[in-house]
Amino acid sequence: MEYSEKVMDHFMNPRNVGVIEDASGIGQVGNMKCGDIMKVYLKIEDGRIQDAKFKTFGCGAAVATSSMATELVKGKTVQEALEVTNRAVMEALDGLPPVKVHCSCLAEEAIHAALWDYAQQNGIEIKGLKPPVNDVDELHHGEAEEE
């Protein structure tokens, strides 16, 4: 298994690590069993994501996808942010090893969870946004390959 240069860059020099004290929405996904937990903070003003931060417990791919996903949603409207899918995150990182695809799903889900939190707090509905799934790894278990 080998990571792309982009994955290594985002792991070694992760963008947007930290917390936003007055976040508009916070989302945490993943579980201890699989060993990946991502927490995303979003600052949203006038329907646009002004800032995004994360904290992640996980492998190199988990850190890199958190970094890239927060990077991709910054400056986007809430609707545009929904289009930042796990595929988009993976492509921006020049791909992930097959066993690490679930990390990109987790990153997408973490952004969605933060948006969901924002929507709940403000009593608004974001078109196409579903309640967060916490156990992303269960969903994507089948994608993991044995060594």
Active site residues: 34, 103
Rule CB under 8 A: say whether 59 interacts with another protein.
yes
d(CA 68, CA 142): 24
Rule CB under 8 A: say whether 4 interacts with another protein.
no
**Residue of 57, 79, 91, 120 interacting with another protein (CB under 8 A):** 57
Rule CB under 8 A: say whether 55 interacts with another protein.
yes
Closer CB to another protein, 59 or 133, in the complex: 59
Beta bridge partners of 37: 30, 57
d(CA 52, CA 31): 21
Q: How far is the CB of 75 from another protein (least distance, A)?
A: 23
Give the range of 52-60, 85-93, 114-122, 125-133 binding another protein by CB under 8 A. 52-60
**Residue of 21, 22, 125, 146 interacting with another protein (CB under 8 A):** 146
Q: Which residues bind another protein (CB under 8 A)?
A: 1, 8, 11-12, 14, 17, 19, 28, 32-39, 55-63, 99-100, 102, 137, 141, 144-147
